[in-house]
Amino acid sequence: MKKKDLNSEYFHKKIMGATWEGVKPFYSDEHEDIQIKIRPNKDVPQAIFKPDPIIPGGWIAHPDTIKSMKKELLIGGTEFIDTEVLYQCIGCNKVLDAQFWIHCPYCTKSIPDKFEPYQSK
Cβ–Cβ < 8 Å for 82, 94: no
Give the H/E segment covering residue 15. Answer: helix 10-16
Of 120, 107, 114, 119, the closest CA to residue 6 belongs to: 114
Rounded CA-CA distance 51/18 in Å is: 31
> What contacts 93, CB < 8 A, 6 or more positions away?
none
Q: Tell me the pTM.
A: 0.65
Cβ–Cβ < 8 Å for 10, 4: yes
Mean pLDDT: which of 29-43, 61-75, 83-97 is highest?
A: 83-97
Q: What average pLDDT does the segment 13-28 reach?
A: 65
Instruction: Dump pLDDT digits (tens) for 39-59.
Output: 999 999 999 999 999 999 999
> Domain ranges in the chain?
4-18+35-115
Report percent pLDDT > 70 for the chain: 64
